[in-house]
Structure formats: structure tokens, C-alpha cells
Amino acid sequence: MISSGHFLGYLVLLLRGAAVTLELSLGGLIIGSLGGLVLGLMRRSSFGGLRAVAVLYIEGLRSTPFVILLFFIYYALPLALDLDIPPYLAAISALSLNCSAYMAEVVRSGIDSVVKGQWEAAYALGFPYRRVLRLVILPQALRIMIPPTIGVYVSTLKESSLASIIGFVELLGQGMAVRESNVGRNTTDILVMVALGYFIMCYSLSLLGRHVERRTRQRSRVAEAGGKLGAAVLNPSGV
């Protein structure tokens, strides 16, 4: 067990590592979400070539362990291209690519879950495809996409811990560094703090997702109630 005086100093290092973990995972999530949106739309494209590229990318990345992707970017790609890739760039690239593959399926399933009549009604009003997607389909699909999106985000946050194996120092990397500097001591408390840090971050993200989901459902109910009230006012006879 590490003494309390040393433990407080190591706690500061762990908090810095947690901040780096959040920065790394947030960057991967933002880039991966944007990429997933593009790939999800490509997956539903009427052009066979775009669909084929999207399917190949999505299925290939989802079938590849994240650690293999990370090793490929950090070790194999520099040898093939004769360049140097820093650990941070390799880690955020791997997280973004992996996240985009899973988010693409979330986007596709969210869009497919919107009833076909919504498309037909929007086209009947003369809207082009882009306006139908932006104004009618995506707002409805987003409500359905929230739960699986949070799952992808939590998974990406946990996978960011693997960046430590290529020398990038985030929360787990800081914990392992503390262990190595305290050889011969019981460092179980440090490992418990690292695990607790990941739990707090992942659980907080899950709670945020539930809150957003509840608020979205409440707004949907209010909008539906308003629509029914408006219809009743305009047609009081119900005919």
C-alpha cells in the first residue's frame, strides 16, 4: 500500500491522466461521429459503388480488433510510408476510424427506423432528397440513435486505455508508470483508483445519455400533443 503522502501526489498524476483520456476520447468521438454520419449515408446511397465502399469499410473495421488497428497505424503504417507517427496521432486516428465504423451502423439503422410514409409525404410536398433528410428524417432518427450512440461513446472511452501500449500516457498509462516507480510495494490502491476513474467517466456518460434521452422523449410527447390539439382546433367536428 502506498503511503498517504505519496498517494496524494500520485492522485494528481492520475487526474492529469484522466484529463488526457477525456481529451483523446472526445477527439476520437467527434471525428468518428462525423465520419459515421458520412458512411451511414453512403451505406444507404442509391449508387452501388458508394454502398460497396461503405460496407467494405464498416464490416472490415468492425471485424478487426481495435488493438490490431492501433498496432497497424503505429507500427506498420510508418514502415510502409517511411514516416513517423506520434503515439497521440496514432491513438486518435485508430479511435476515430473504429468509432466511425460503429457510428455508421447507428446512423443507418436510425434512418431505416423512420417509417416509409415520412419519406413519401415529404417527397409529395416537393422536397428534394437533401431537404427531406435534413428537415424530416434526421430529426426523427436522432431520437432513436441516442441510446446506441451512448453505447458507442462508452466503448470508445474504454478502448482509449489501449493507447498506453504504444507509449501514450493517459489514465492507464499514468497508473502503470506509478506501479513501475513503486516496485516492491503493493500498488493495488493505484489500480483501484484507475479502475474507479474509468467507471466514473463511463457512468457519467451513461447518465448524460439517459438524461438527453428523457428530455428528447418529453419534447416528442409535447410536440405530438400540440399537433393533435392543433388538428382538433382546425377540425373540431373530427371529419
Question: What contacts 102, CB < 8 A, 6 or more positions away?
Answer: 32, 36, 62, 152, 155
pLDDT of 128 > 80? The answer is yes
Which pLDDT score, from 0 to 100, does residue 2 have?
55
Residue 30's pLDDT band (cuts 50, 70, 90) = very high
pLDDT tens digits, 104-117? 999 999 988 888 88
pLDDT tens digits, 167-185? 888 888 888 888 888 766 7
Cell numbers representing residue 155 in the block: 466503448
Which pLDDT score, from 0 to 100, does residue 226 have?
43
pLDDT tens digits, 59-73? 999 999 999 999 999
The closest of 43, 150, 168, 23 to 99, measured between CA atoms, is: 150
4-234: CATH number: 1.10.3720.10
Q: Which of 19-28, 126-135, 217-226 has the lowest mean pLDDT?
A: 217-226
Of residues 236 and 53, more confidently modeled: 53
